[in-house]
Structure 1
Amino acid sequence: MELKGVPQLAGTLAWIATSALQYGFHIAALNSLLDSLACNTTFPRRGLFGESSCVEMSAAETGIVTSFYTVGGLAASLSAGAMIERWGKKGTAVRSAAVIVLGACAVAFGSYLWVLVLGRVLIGMSCGIATVLVPLYLSSVAPPALAGNIGILTQISINVGIFAAQASSIPLSTPGTGLWRTVPLISVAVAVAQILTSPLVPEPHAAPKPGRVFDVEDEERTPLATDDNGEFLRSTRVAIQKKLTHAVPSMSVMEVLRSSDPAVKRALWTLVATMLFQQFSGINAVMYYSTSILTAVNPANAKSVSLFVTVVNLVMTLPTVYLIDRLGRRSLLVISLTAMCVSTAILGWSINQSHFLVASAGIIAFVVSFAIGLGPIPFVLVGELPPKEASSSTASIAVAVNWTSNLVVGVAFLPLRDWLAGSDGKNSGTVFYVFTALTAIGAVVVGRLVR
């Protein structure tokens, strides 16, 4: 790639990374806002400008609003491939940003439960597209020598979004003001900026028609590195044509599920297991509700610790770039799950005993354990494990499992916590023992499946 292409490449990476950032933003967008989002009897029902300052919701309904974006995410992730085929990668990204504008506006201005749920579903649709689109887009524009480094940008962008949501929501979470509505409007502004700047971004080379499979290297990786006439490099085009000539028919989702090929079956069940335990570890319960969790122990400092947790989540993703090829995928996954098992046990005990400092340390240890292995590696395995002819369909199944389990955890966490806490609510940490058991099982299962 010529030097003149570097600024354009950097701009393109920043532009598409915005889609992944939005996914992370809406994981944590309501975390610190729950106390001001749901109405209670201690503050006024009208905000600064006459709008409703809150929405009538029970704890279970709050959980539905928080997590129901996974419904849209599940549906959209399964159909993202068809969208990319129809509109191209850039066109799909622009339409995805438009959907998030609609969804975030519904959350920002809605005063009824069903409006907020609809908004979260629309937001989820955009985020579901992003989980499929962003890695493909990055691989399309990345020069071969930088493909690995650029590939980690997806996870980094998600974590930046989580931090941005937590940092912006804390000063806007005062009950009775209605200022919580500003947080989704931040997402609207980012999406509008992405749409308006889209003419400045090149369209990556089109993927082959359905029924053909090829590596990310088969796609033109150098759309930004052009000759003096602005044409794509001839050698790259010739190489693509040769590879497509020998392309192999791809397998459908049903063919993957019914396959008796040991390689296909092993890849499928390994990916399903890693995606399942990624969500059943409880990570998104912490990202959704860390403020609510710590408020039960120390209301004064809960939001500050929750913000620090997002910083740790972002920073601790970076060492994985160095460790993944030195310790290996399996070792990092087993270490990650084992450490999460221990940290959730400590977290549950410390919350029940009202030890705020220990509980804060437990959440931080939990997030660090996730960031070094169980966070980024499942998505790395998606691109490595399946045979080429089964790669796209296996990835769709794995992502669907991820979104489904995310939904289950998001909806069930608050009611399960309240039920296990007892009538007096003093044992609200008991729910984390459930995650202790699940991560212990995960360490054994993943350790046996991943090689």
Structure 2
Amino acid sequence: MSRLLSRLLSRSAFLSNVGIPRQNKNKITKALFYAIMVASIGSLQFGYHLSELNAPQQVLSCSEFDIPTEGYPYDRTWLGRRGYKQCIPLNDEQIGIVTSVFCIGGILGSYFATSLANIYGRKFSSLTNCILNIIGSLIIFNSNSYRSLIIGRILVGISCGSLIVIIPLFIKEVAPSGWEGLLGSMTQICIRLGVLLTQGVALWLTNSYHWRWILFGSFLIALLNLTMWFMVGESPKWMLAHGRVVDAKLSLYELRGGTFDEAAQEIQKWQQQIESGDPLIEPTTTNSISGSNSLWKYLRDKTNIKPRHVITILLFGQQFCGINSIVLYGTKIISQLYPQHAIKINFFISMVNVLVTILVSLLIHNLPRKPLLITSTILVSITSFVMGMAMNHNKMNLLIVFSFIYMGVSTMGLNPLPFIIMREVSKPQDMVLAQRYGTICNWIGTFIIAYTFPIVHDILSGYVFITFAIIACLISAFIWKKVPETKGYKTGYNQVWANY
């Protein structure tokens, strides 16, 4: 697999398109490929949990008056004989809470992830998060009550929130020079693959007797990831930053191949980088209010007003355009007009999302940010409006077609670009804090959509997507007037903001 990947990426036309230097074409070894694949399964866990309640929520939840007391068919299944309820009493608000508390855990996990990973290492932190994910997944699978669902979802949220921060750090630190952008895209690709996997499993298991096995799937993924991590070494850059020079050389040699002397030479370059004062790994920020690198100080710093404004609007706005409404509640939306095939349609929407994500990941690092972001946002506005009108007028085919288009156009810009731009509009010394702030904004936005969408959708029906369309239109105007182009400005922060 790794040889095939290397051959494909070595073709000159492809290399020029994705911006990979030719001299790096042979540096993807089997060991490096395996390490990146193992790390990326953490993103798969995130995508799976994000969408795991989408398809089964209609059979998972019921009114307390609808629960059979005895003799119902589920009693004759393996799960029924062991005391598992056929469904759990949940109203629309409780479904929103169970879905959205994943984001509360995500905020906690992502906020402390960098600090803990810098102290204990990328590998140990990932192993710990896999264990936490296993525990949370089992709690969700065994849940017979609203309360236990919440506990399980918070635990897996903490795990996934942490993994989604640690994984890009690990990949960035092991990737050969020139490959960081392409390999870093594995995070987004695997998130979409996780969503697709959930919807694929749901095709067979979304019924009143087997829906719990969808939730059990996340346990299997976490267990697989935990096992595979034991065959992956620690990040060599993290080892070197902690004074483990010999271990760093051995780890880099095992990952990159070549000769041990070549690994030693690269380690020497990293040591020179440390001596020059440049951080080798993402710096740890303090959590105290008075700390020189605290998030509180970042929020109060007047020199950060412009980038902070951009980050806030883009990261909140991304969610308020309704991107995750399909990921979280797509089956519920489509089933109103096409109940027999809603799960299948949602699966194919997820498949389109994966394909577009892969295509965009190959090209996005060489395209100008601002035009692509404006184009994506305007198209999201148009497709959201059409979806809303289709729902209001019971135009089933129109809704399905534009659901595909909606996910595709959001994936081409509005979904990935805010996470790239939030670092590029920030001062170098504030990039880590800016990323932390933007991640929190995004998690809060996801929480708001996850909690309110079932309630608002039941009240407004298709008008909720017309609301998304209006928000997307306003955000596109904001991008045009207030967001600078960040692609290609090698001199940094001052040049990016020169005309704003």
Q: Report if the CA contact (8 A) 1:27-1:284 is conserved.
A: no
Give the structure 2 partner of residue 254 of structure 1: 296
Shift of 1:185: 1.3
The answer as to 2:228 corresponding to 1:197 is: yes
Does residue 26 in structure 1 map to residue 37 in structure 2?
A: no
After superposition, residues 15-164 of structure 1 pair within 5 angstroms as 15-40=38-63, 41=66, 44=72, 46=74, 48-49=77-78, 50=80, 51-164=84-197
Whether the aligned pair in 1 keeps the contact of 2:376 and 2:412 (CA below 8 Å) is yes
Displacement of 1:381 in angstroms is: 2.2
Change (3 A) 1:338 1:223: farther
What does 1:14-413 correspond to in 2, within 5 Å? 14-40=37-63, 41=66, 44=72, 46=74, 48-49=77-78, 50=80, 51-175=84-208, 177=209, 179-207=210-238, 224-225=255-256, 228=259, 233-247=263-277, 251-261=293-303, 264-325=304-365, 327-413=367-453
Contact 1:139 1:221 in 2 (8 A): no
Distance 1:30 1:247, change over 3 A: same
Q: Which amino acid aligns with 2:107?
A: L
User: Does the aligned pair in 1 maintain the 2:67–2:86 contact within 8 Å?
Assistant: no
Residue 397 of structure 1 aligns to which amino acid in structure 2?
Y
Task: Measure how far apart 1:134 and its partner are.
Answer: 1.3
Shift of 1:46: 4.0
Alpha carbons 1:85, 1:209 under 8 Å: kept: no
Does residue 444 in structure 1 map to residue 446 in structure 2?
A: no
Residues 3 and 208 of structure 1, relative CA distance in 2, 3 Å threshold: closer
Q: Is the 8 A contact 1:39 1:45 kept in 2?
A: no
The amino acid of 1:259's aligned partner reads D
TM-score w.r.t. the length of structure 2 is 0.81
Query: Per-residue deviation at 1:358?
Result: 0.3
Which one-letter code corresponds to 1:186 in the other structure? G
Structure with greater Cα Rg: 2
Residue of structure 1 in register with 2:463 after alignment: 430
Contact 1:28 1:162 in 2 (8 A): yes
Query: Match of 1:343, as an amino acid?
Result: T
CA contact under 8 A between 1:46 and 1:54: conserved in structure 2? Answer: no
Shift of 1:259: 2.1
Structure 2: distance between partners of 1:125 and 1:184? 17
Q: Which TM-score applies when normalising by structure 1?
A: 0.90
Aligned CA distance change for structure 1 residues 61 and 339 (closer, same or farther; 3 Å): same
Q: Which runs of 5 or more structure 1 residues have no equivalent in the other structure?
A: 211-219, 421-427
What fraction of aligned residue pairs are identical, expressed as a percent?
Answer: 23
- The alpha carbon displacement at 1:325 in A equals 4.8
Distance in 1 of aligned mates of 2:190 and 2:366 = 24
Give the number of equivalent residue pairs: 430
The residue type paired with residue 229 of structure 2 is S
Cα offset, 1:223, TM superposition: 6.4
| Equivalent residue, structure 2, for 1:11 | 34
Give the residue type in structure 2 aligned to 1:36: V
Note the C-alpha offset of 1:322. 4.8
The 1:287–1:222 alpha-carbon spacing in structure 2 relative to 1, beyond 3 Å, is farther
Deviation digits for residues 239-258 of structure 1 (CA, Å, limit 9, x no counterpart): 22222223269733123222
1:145 deviates by: 2.7
Alignment check: 8 A CA contact 2:252 2:263 kept: no
Distance 2:252 2:386 in 1: 46
C-alpha separation in 2, matches of 1:435 and 1:14: 35
Deviation at 1:143, TM superposition (A): 0.8
Tell me if the contact between 1:345 and 1:436 (Cα under 8 Å) persists in the aligned partners.
Answer: yes
Flag the 1:208–1:443 CA change in 2: closer, same or farther, 3 A: farther
SS at match of 2:211: helix
Q: CA deviation at 1:89?
A: 0.6
Cα root mean square deviation, aligned: 2.3
Please tell me whether residue 416 in structure 1 is matched to residue 456 in structure 2. Answer: yes
Kindly indicate whether the alpha-carbon contact (under 8 Å) linking 1:77 and 1:132 is maintained by their aligned counterparts in 2.
yes
Are the aligned partners of 2:29 and 2:257 in contact in 1 as well (CA < 8 Å)? no
Deviates more, 1:184-193 or 1:252-261: 252-261
